[in-house]
Amino acid sequence: MDIPRLIDPYGREHHYLRISVTDRCNLRCVYCMPEEGMEFEPSDKILTYGEIAEVVRVSAGMGIRKIRLTGGEPLVRKNLEQLIAMIAGIPGIEDIALTTNGMFLAPKAQLLKDAGLTRVNISMDSLQPDRFKAITRGGELRKVLEGIEACAKADLSPIKLNVVLMKGLNEDEIADFIRLTRDHELHVRFIEYMPIGHNDAAWKSLYLPLSRVMEVCSEQQWKVEPVAAIPGTGPSENYRIDGALGSFGLIHPVSSHFCQTCNRLRLTADGYIKPCLAWTEQFHIRRVIGDDEAMRRMLMDALRTKPEHHEMSHFLKADATVSHTPTARRMSQIGG
């Protein structure tokens, strides 16, 4: 049988699947979830590890090579290392990464590595404990730092730190984060705040274009040079200040989208394939798990609906009009 490759109408070949293993999280970060929290899905609505592995198996046969596990917070899901081991055993899968807030990472890092995890991205939006606690609504910076140390010991590298920049909240820490890369083999990635599920005045007031990062480098009189792609950096533009062990990167989906090179699909915790993070289109693949051919058809159907780009920059305009319906699901429900 001739199995189709995951190529969309614009010729983009997809080899990257982001999997949300849960919509639950132990934190309530200001850019991800409302302060009152979310109404989480009941456990029977969440994909089992076996179901996730089946989706990965079929999609790997169509060209998926990279997996990223997300949430919510993926480490609130029990025995995540079991899923990692299942995925690692699927032919064709070459890379398994984890995005985490790091709060539960320290005691799990070596176990995850042993199961087959390749590397980690750790969300860390401030280097100041009180501010970190305020942005995350309860997080402890100390635990995240312990998680970073544990990952270094377990050789889960490269270790990337995700920093969502927000005007008036943490933009004054740009230089501090870049200084962190001078003496540590860490890769800081500054990410623009995206209007996923809440295109409102609050988002607009906090949005900061990443041109500010390069302005700070100029103000500090740092010599900055571009660096070659770091494993798993995806759409990040990567740089290094002179003599630094690590690097910093810019991910700017709003001010300068990178949709022309998008190679990813998303599997939500409740079993939907999303071809684009920004729009409402989704396909309930859970209902056809067990039928490989039906799963392949659904994956290809999802790709056929994928737009050329997401149009997030339009949301900055007062009279924005867009070509698709923006998703109402928050980032924690989709998996980023």
Which pLDDT score is estimated for 280? Answer: 81
CA distance 74 to 122: 12
Beta-bridge partner residues of 250: 190, 237
Q: What is the mean pLDDT of residues 9-14?
A: 94
% the chain with pLDDT above 70: 88
- 311 pLDDT above the threshold of 60: no
Residue 6 lies in a domain: no
Q: In this prediction, what percent of the chain has a pLDDT beyond 90?
A: 73
Q: Where are the alpha helices (DSSP H) in 14-118?
A: 49-60, 80-88, 109-115
Of 73, 104, 63, 106, residue with least CA distance to 303: 63
| pLDDT number for residue 228 | 82
Maximum Cα interatomic distance, the chain, rounded to a whole number of Å: 60
Report the pLDDT value the prediction gives residue 193, as an integer from 0 to 100.
86
Structure confidence by residue, pLDDT tens digits, 174-200: 999 999 999 999 999 999 987 765 556
Where is average pLDDT lowest: 134-143, 166-175, 227-236? 227-236
Give a yes or no: residue 269 inside a domain.
yes
Calculate mean pLDDT across residues 258-272.
Answer: 90
Tokens in use for 34?
């409302």
Q: Check pLDDT > 60 for residue 313.
A: no
Q: What is the pLDDT of residues 89-122, one digit of tens each?
A: 999 999 999 999 999 999 999 999 999 999 999 9
Average pLDDT over residues 286-306: 97
Task: Flag whether 277 is in a domain.
Answer: yes
**What confidence tier does 321 reach under pLDDT thresholds 50, 70, 90?**
low
Whether 208 is covered by a domain: the verdict is yes
Considering its fold, how many domains does the chain have in total? Answer: 1
As a whole number, mean pLDDT of residues 234-255 equals 89
* 3 belongs to a structural domain: no
Q: Where are the beta strands (DSSP E) in 1-81?
A: 16-20, 66-70
Query: 228 versus 13: which is more confidently predicted?
Result: 13
pLDDT tier, 73 (very low <50, low <70, confident <90, very high otherwise):
very high
Higher pLDDT, 300 or 331: 300
Is 171 a member of any domain?
Answer: yes
Say if residue 233's pLDDT is above 60.
Answer: no
Query: If you search the block for the tokens 């996923």, which residue do you land on?
Result: 196
The average confidence (pLDDT) of the chain is: 90
CA-nearest of 196, 145, 179 to 33 is 196
Return d(Cα 330, Cα 336) in angstroms, integer: 9
Grade residue 1 by pLDDT with cuts at 50, 70 and 90.
confident
Residue 36: pLDDT over 80: no
Question: pLDDT by residue (tens digit) across 267-281?
Answer: 999 999 999 877 788
pLDDT reading at 234 higher than 90 = no
Two tokens, residue 332: 């924690």
CATH number of the domain within which 102 lies:
3.20.20.70
**Residues 131-139, mean pLDDT to the nearest whole number:** 96
Residue listed under structure tokens 């001078």? 182
Residue 310 lies in a domain: yes
What is the distance between the alpha carbons of residues 196 and 194, in angstroms, rounded to a whole number? 6
Does the pLDDT of residue 317 top 60, yes or no? no
Is 8 within a domain?
no
Q: How far is residue 158's CA from residue 151's CA, in Å, rounded to a whole number? A: 9
More reliable by pLDDT, 233 or 185: 185
Residue 259 has a pLDDT of: 79
- Higher local confidence (pLDDT), 120 or 34: 120
Residue 256 pLDDT > 90, yes or no?
no
Question: Whole domain around residue 127: which residue ranges?
Answer: 16-334
